[in-house]
Amino acid sequence: MAKRVKDPGLGYNSSSNAQRIINADGSSNVVHANRRFGADDLYTFFIEIPWWQFFTLIIVGYSLLNVLFAFVYVLIGIEQITPSKGNFIADLLNGFFFSAQTLTTVGYGGIAPKGIAANCIAAFEAMIGLLSFSFITGLLYGRFSKAKASIRFSDNLILRDFNDGRALMFRLMNKRKTVMIEPEVSVTLSISEKDKREEYKRKFYQLKLERSKIMYLPTVWTIVHEIDDNSPLNSYSNKEISKLDGVLYVLMQYHEESFGQKVYQITSYNFSSLEVDAKYTSSFYFDEEGNTVLDHSKLSEISKMN
C-alpha cells in the first residue's frame, strides 16, 4: 500500500491545466503577486540573474550615470571644465567623457574642473564612482564564489520492465570533471486527480528508490523506482501512467570538492516526457589505453526494448 505524505509546500489544490511549480532547470514557476521589493532584495537579485543581464545592467547604469552628470556639467556651464564648442551636442560629449574619467578616477588631465561648482560636482561624482565599483566588485566576487551544483539530468523518464516487475527511471551526471562525493537524491511524486466533487486535488508520495545515496559518482547514476505493491503507481497500467497528470520533483545534494561544501540542485519531470518500454544506452566506454570516456551527449539517449 502506497503511503501518502503531507503537502511539501506545493498545495493540495490543482486544476486541469496546472503547471509544475519547479521547472526542469530548477527555477521556480510560481508567479508572485503583490510582493514588495526592498533594498534587502538587491543583492539576491544581482546574484541570481543571468550573466548577460548582469553586465547589461552594469553597462546601461554606467552610461546613464555619465549622461546624467554630463547634463549637470552643461547646465552649470561647460566652461568650468573645458572651453565650449558652441554646440550643445559637442559640449554634452565633452561633459560625458569628463564624467567617465571622474567616475572611474582615471583622470587623463586633458579636461579638468576649474570652478567651485564643477569641483564640488566632480568630487561628489568620484565618491559615487568609488562606491559603485566597490559594489560591483562585491557582486562579481559573490557570483563567482557562490557554491553551485552542476548536475545534468536526462531529458526523459523511462518506464520499463525491471527484475520481475516494472520501474520508473531517469539518469543524471556531473557536468564538471570533479567527482561527486556522497551524492544523495530524494524524489517526490505529485499526482493531480479529480475527487468526488469533480475538483482537482494533488496527492503527494515520497518514492522509494533502489538506491538514494552512494559514496561517490564519477560517471552516470540511473535513479530507479521499482513499481511494486508499495508504489503509488502500482495500480496504473503503463498506458495510464504515460497519460497521468503527474510530476516528479527531484532534490539532489552532494559535497562539491571545488567549493569544499555541500551543494543542492532541484529539477522536475512531467510524465509527458515518459518513454515506455525503452532503456538507456551506455554513455561511457573505454578508449585504447583503457581510460573511461564519458560521453555527455548520450545522457538522454535511449533504445527500444525488444
pLDDT bucket at 3, cuts 50 / 70 / 90: low
Query: Of 84, 115, 145, which closes a domain?
Result: 145
Same domain, yes or no, for 159 and 124?
no
Same domain, yes or no, for 111 and 229?
no
Same domain, yes or no, for 294 and 187?
yes
Question: Does 293 fall in a domain?
Answer: yes
Contact 300, 154 (CB under 8 A): yes
Return the pLDDT at 1.
53
Question: Does 2 fall in a domain?
Answer: no
Mean pLDDT of 160-188: 91
Of 79-83, 190-194, 236-240, least confident by mean pLDDT is 190-194
Question: Does 10 fall in a domain?
Answer: no
pTM over 0.85: no
Between the alpha carbon of residue 104 and those of residues 53, 97, 132, 178, 212, the distances in Å are 22, 11, 10, 39, 53
Question: Does 29 fall in a domain?
Answer: no
Same domain, yes or no, for 289 and 188?
yes
Q: Which residue has the higher pLDDT, 306 or 141?
A: 141
CATH code (residue 78): 1.10.287.70
Between the alpha carbon of residue 170 and those of residues 14, 24, 64, 197, the distances in Å are 25, 13, 48, 35
**Dihedrals φ, ψ of 201, to 5°?**
-130, 150
% of the chain at pLDDT higher than 90: 47
Boundaries of domain holding 57: 39-145
Same domain, yes or no, for 138 and 184?
no
Burial 129-152 (b: 16+ CB within 10 A, else e): beebeeebeebeeeeeeeeebebb
DSSP at 27: -
Same domain, yes or no, for 50 and 160?
no
Domain count of the fold of the chain? 2
Closest by CA to 50, choosing from 20, 29, 25, 19, is: 25
Query: Of 145, 174, 209, which closes a domain?
Result: 145
